[in-house]
Amino acid sequence: MNNNTQESKIQLEYINKCTELVKEKYEKAPAFFIQNAGCQMNSLQTDTVAGIVKRMGYTEVSREEDADVVIYNTCTVRENANLKIYGHLGHLKSIKKKNPELKIILFGCMMQEPEVVEKIRKSYRFVDIIFGTHNIFKFAELFYDMLLSDMQIVDIWEGTDQIVEDLPTERNYTFKSGVNIMFGCNNFCSYCIVPYVRGRERSRNPKDIIREIESLVADGVVEVMLLGQNVNSYGKTLEEPMTFAQLLQEIEKIEGLERIRFMTSHPKDLSDELIEVMAQSQKICKHLHLPVQSGSTRILEKMNRRYTKEHYLGLVEKIKAAVPDISLTTDIIVGFPGETEEDFQETLDVVRKVRYDSAFTFIYSKRTGTPAAVLEEQVPEEIVKDRFNRLLKEVQSISAEVCSVHTKTVQRVLVESVNDHDDSLVTGRMSNNLLVHFPGEKDLVGKLVDVRLDTCKGFYYLGEMVASIRV
């Protein structure tokens, strides 16, 4: 038995211990509230924590006021995310005055910042547990200690090489699931705090990934999202190296799995091998999120992105040649320190040449603790806002044109939910990640169906089902 397997057994024992303590403490099933902030990796870790708490006998509620335990998974990509947590804590202070037995737990990226932890210890002493990103697998053990003590528990690790599997999780969907394939980041983009709070890259053993996906498929999952800060660098830390492209080929062999998605892809590591695998695959979705951040080579260098505008455009050209129907999406930052109008025009040029299906556009936000935060030449706010608005207009105009090309075609759609606004409709997602709304019953959720796309509404379609495939 390896150390990680032993650790998972230990934590399952702590879950059982907590279950017994909870039965002793509460006459009826206690409640918990959990809130996630941040990326899809955060969301997956939130699902694990929720699964563990449910295993202990707690039921989930939608309001902090109704809970016996409140849990926040924090994000720290932007300082505004930190401010929101402090706001939540102010609200919780008043709730805890009315209910002194309330337990409050903070974990995740924000807790990896020493100054944050110190502030919470001094100013928010009513918080019961504080832990970070590296020891989430220890959650049940920390929870057990909390149930036996009134002391504030702070357990922050600077890093870890441990990857602990087989902990309970609470999936939001029965038919699709995220799967972590690696943790951490080695890229150190100058504007980003993630490498400092997530630690260095470490890849999961491919056999463990395959085993997890096989288990998910046996439980009804037809689509997986492979997650990592930079999936393209997967495998570099393994004893027996394996590329991300090779991992995808192994995952494709899993019977019953219909769709494979992944994010995020760093352009500097996207290989010809990966492009070839995507072109040949029957299961990899025709969607690639490829963050460009800026179209200016000069700004890209200041961002420490380690590719040029020319390299990025060449990469896009190769991808489109190999996968002609690929949907490309991206992230773009406007107003990075030192960005001139000429630099911004380079970004617009990339947008026009690539013609993204959609783009996540951001105004540069100074993040304390990153190299970019101390750069001179911070761009005036009014100039940044003007550039942002011009970029958004360009992106939306092109996206509307690009997305409309599928009108009157029949596309395979995975139905994800009953429509939020009209319960006579269901909502599904095409391989290229675009949404489709069409008439259908609730029992279609989780099924793959063929839909004729009648009307394009810019970022989604209205259509009509022509056939369904039961999976």
Q: What is the mean pLDDT of residues 355-377?
A: 92
Neighbours of 177 (CB within 10 A): 22
Segment 72-95, tens digit of pLDDT: 999 988 888 888 999 999 999 999
Q: Give mean pLDDT, residues 55-76.
A: 95
pTM: 0.88
In this structure, how many other beta carbons lie within 10 angstroms of the beta carbon of residue 121?
Answer: 13
Q: Mind listing the pLDDT tens digit for each residue in 119-160? A: 999 999 999 999 999 899 999 999 999 999 989 999 999 877
Which residue did the predictor score with more confidence, 52 or 169? Answer: 52
The letter for the amino acid at 108 is G
Q: Span 196-210, mean pLDDT?
A: 92
Which parts of 94-248 are beta strand (E)?
103-108, 129-131, 153-155, 176-180, 182-183, 202-203, 223-227
pLDDT at residue 42 tops 90? no
Q: Which residue has the higher pLDDT, 446 or 166?
A: 446
Residue 240 DSSP code: S
- Comparing CA positions, the residue from 143, 165, 195 lying closest to residue 17 is 143
* Pairwise CA distance, residues 356 & 400, whole Å: 10
CA distances from 415 to 40, 174, 337, 347 (A): 20, 12, 43, 35
At 281, is the secondary structure helix, strand, or coil? Answer: coil
Query: For residue 379, is pLDDT > 70?
Result: yes
**Position 1 pLDDT exceeds 70:** no
Residue 464 above 90 pLDDT?
yes
| Model confidence at 300: pLDDT above 80 | yes
pLDDT at 466 over 60: yes
* DSSP symbols for 402-448: HHGGGTT-EEEEEEEEE-SS-TTEEEEEETTS-EEEEE--GGGTT-E
Q: For 248-295, how does the pLDDT look when each residue is reduced to its tens digit (9 = 90+)?
A: 999 999 999 999 999 989 999 999 999 999 999 999 999 999 999 999
Q: Which of 130, 216, 222 is nearest to 179 (CA)?
A: 216
- For 402-414, what is the mean pLDDT? 93
Residue 392 has what DSSP assignment? H
Whole-number Å distance between alpha carbons of 383 and 370: 23
Task: Scan for tokens 């169906």, then name that residue.
Answer: 449
Confidence (pLDDT) at 458? 82
| Burial 143-172, CB ≥16 within 10 A → b, else e | bbbbbeeeebebbbeeebeebbbbbbbbbe
Asked if omega into 347 is within 30° of 0 (cis), the reply is no
State the average pLDDT for the chain: 93
Q: Looking at residue 167, what is its pLDDT?
A: 77
Whole-number Å distance between alpha carbons of 217 and 254: 8
Indicate if the pLDDT at residue 24 is higher than 70.
yes
